[in-house]
Structure 1
Amino acid sequence: MTATAKIMHLILLLSGLSFQFSHGLQPQFVFFQTPKTWSEAQSICREQCFDLATINDMREMEIVLEAVGDKYDDAVWIGLSKGTTLRWHWSLAGDEFYKEGERNYLLWSSVNDYNCAIFKDGMLNSVSCDYQRYSICFDATKQGADQYILNTQGMVWTAARDYCRTHYTDLTSLRNDGEYQIVQEVASGYGVYVGLFRDPWEWSDQTDSSFRYWNPAETVWTGGTQNCVAMLKENSGKWGDRACTETHPFVCDCRNKLSFIKLRISPQDSMLDLNNPSVQADILEQVSQTDLC
């Protein structure tokens, strides 16, 4: 792999001056078949790639499933592990979907020990995820009020989420006052599931992806007896919790890795104008032809 493909931020330290070049990043999932504990897998991914895999949506999950294929016997580690704090998330992931402050624009009427949320009379209420209720789906392919669809089939929260993902985009989020008003009109007075849920699971790279792909026996999973998460072959790659000390193959995110390169300027180069864009471009071209370990 060339330096250009590996560099996340290239910083050239030249005679006390620095230049920084940034490259767009996309996850690149790589499957490692040698079994390791979760912590060992995390260390290897951070050393050789970027981190253990974070999965942001179903499209990325399908890429991981394709990368892993049938090349494992039991389980495959991903970058999810159990934290110590229950946090609220929207089912519809994707940073580009939320402006600043919109993820946490939560107008509560009541919050208790339950881990799913309904919308009723303009406010949110935490409820059991196991009750069958109507729900509001969101369709990203439409515009305005047409994006919000009332599902009048009574379902538990996870079934409602899967229904909305299958037929539309996801359960709806509530990002601002305008969406609260629209959803109130679409809900027609019913208490309806929206995409808000609470769990303690955290990604190794500290991103806040709310995507979950638990095995069918689980609802919103908060109490898992083990602290690390793996894809399970018996559930066609859906997730389950495992003891972190078990050894399994693992999936890394091998996006461009942060690299630092120091270059010495020899005396014959002392006349270089390091502020000249053409000189900077030539330096980057030279470095990009170097393979980094």
Structure 2
Amino acid sequence: MHLILLLSGLSFQFSHGLQPQFAFFQTPKTWSEAQSICREQCFDLATINDMREMKIVLEAVGDKYDDAVWIGLLKGTTPRWHWSLADDDFYKEGERNYLLWSSINVNYNCPFFKDGKLNMVSCEYQRYSVCFDARQQGADRYILNTRRMVWTAARDFCRAHYTDLTSLRNDAEYQIVQQVANGSEVYVGLFRDPWEWSDQTDSSFRYWNPDEPVWTDSTQTCVAMLKVNSGKWGDRACTETHPFVCDCRNKLSFIKLRISPQDSMLDLSNPSVQADILEQMSQKLKTNNTTAVFHLNWRKKSDGTIFTKEP
């Protein structure tokens, strides 16, 4: 007998290369109310992927709020590693998770780089850092910042003067940064936090106000743009009522599917298997509709699982 599994949900959207469109709703709502309205009228609460989109949101909101504006970021339950430079096109398969550790401490969230390896440290320690400049070529893209800063200040410095803190995607990049650091302990763009986007996308872009820690247990659950910090983000109680920004670029659709594996040994919790299923479905959709571009993602449940076995 084959196992019959019910997927918790498969999301897809149609993309025609449109400029991201963010809609600002001025009527104050709680975070959950804002989420419901955005999902009904647009796509979801706004997910922001990079500084270009952040500037679009800042222009859309302008000066038309008094205190705070909800976006789609909220605290999850599991801290995860991210790179500050969030552009998906910047990373090949496996490069986001190519992490060479010298030491790991679960109490810290901002690694520093030294002698070819990553080491855990508090984000509040002041260190040199290495910036990345996408406008340059080769080793010139990696710049040593010899001003000692906490991690968030180093990130903001690199974004203001270059592109971002550097990522470490492969052996070659580790070697270049080692040469640039010249024996110093330097911050790179890696950080850990539990924040998740409402639409389940994996954007690692963060635009916290200067006083916001990378992550502590004491932070509130939902995130808003703060007027006092010129639109930079801060955590707020989700029950507060504020205006909000929706992402209206595309409409999100959810499909429930049943899968009967022909191979009883197939591990449907394996990310590679899940990716293969999405690829097969994508090819099928393209066969039926050659004009649209489909972006398929599994919608995970709160415990991180995708599949549920039917009784």
Normalising by structure 2, what TM-score?
Answer: 0.75
Checking the alignment, whether the CA contact within 8 Å between 1:77 and 1:251 is kept in structure 2 is yes
- Residue of structure 1 equivalent to 2:195: 201
Checking the alignment, whether the CA contact within 8 Å between 2:73 and 2:195 is kept in structure 1 is yes
Once the two structures are superposed, what CA deviation does each residue of 1:3-42 show, in whole Å capped at 9, x if it has no partner? xxxx954xxxxxxxxxxxx633542110011111111111
Name the aligned partner's letter for residue 38 of structure 1: W
CA distance in 1, matches of 2:124, 2:213: 8
- Residue of structure 2 equivalent to 1:94: 87
Checking the alignment, whether the CA contact within 8 Å between 1:157 and 1:219 is kept in structure 2 is no
CA distance in 2, matches of 1:220, 1:79: 17
Deviation for aligned residue 1:211: 1.3
Checking the alignment, whether the CA contact within 8 Å between 1:25 and 1:256 is kept in structure 2 is no
CA distance in 2, matches of 1:8, 1:116: 34
Checking the alignment, whether the CA contact within 8 Å between 2:152 and 2:210 is kept in structure 1 is no
1:141 and 2:141 equivalent?
A: no
Structure 1 regions of 5+ residues with no counterpart? 1-6, 10-21, 261-279, 285-293
Deviation for aligned residue 1:225: 3.3
Once the two structures are superposed, what CA deviation does each residue of 1:181-202 show, in whole Å capped at 9, x if it has no partner? 1111111111111000111111
CA distance in 1, matches of 2:184, 2:210: 27
1:214 and 2:186 equivalent?
A: no
**2:65 corresponds to which of 68, 72, 88:** 72
Name the aligned partner's letter for residue 57 of structure 2: V
- Residue of structure 2 equivalent to 1:160: 154
- Residue of structure 2 equivalent to 1:238: 232
- Residue of structure 2 equivalent to 1:151: 145
CA distance in 2, matches of 1:259, 1:90: 28
Normalising by structure 1, what TM-score?
Answer: 0.79
Once the two structures are superposed, what CA deviation does each residue of 1:229-255 show, in whole Å capped at 9, x if it has no partner? 111122221111111111111000001
SS in 2 for 1:116: coil
CA distance in 1, matches of 2:194, 2:149: 24
Q: How many residues align?
A: 245
Name the aligned partner's letter for residue 191 of structure 1: E
Deviation for aligned residue 1:222: 3.1
SS in 2 for 1:150: strand
Alignment of 1:26-175 (within 5 A): 26-112=19-105, 113-175=107-169
Checking the alignment, whether the CA contact within 8 Å between 2:124 and 2:150 is kept in structure 1 is yes
CA distance in 2, matches of 1:169, 1:186: 17
CA distance in 2, matches of 1:230, 1:258: 23
Cα 1:71–1:156 change in 2 (3 A) is same
**2:217 corresponds to which of 209, 215, 223:** 223
Q: Percent identity?
A: 84
- TM-align CA RMSD: 2.0
Name the aligned partner's letter for residue 62 of structure 2: G
Larger Rg: 1
Cα 1:219–1:8 change in 2 (3 A) is closer
CA distance in 2, matches of 1:229, 1:259: 25
CA distance in 2, matches of 1:202, 1:256: 20
CA distance in 1, matches of 2:179, 2:219: 41
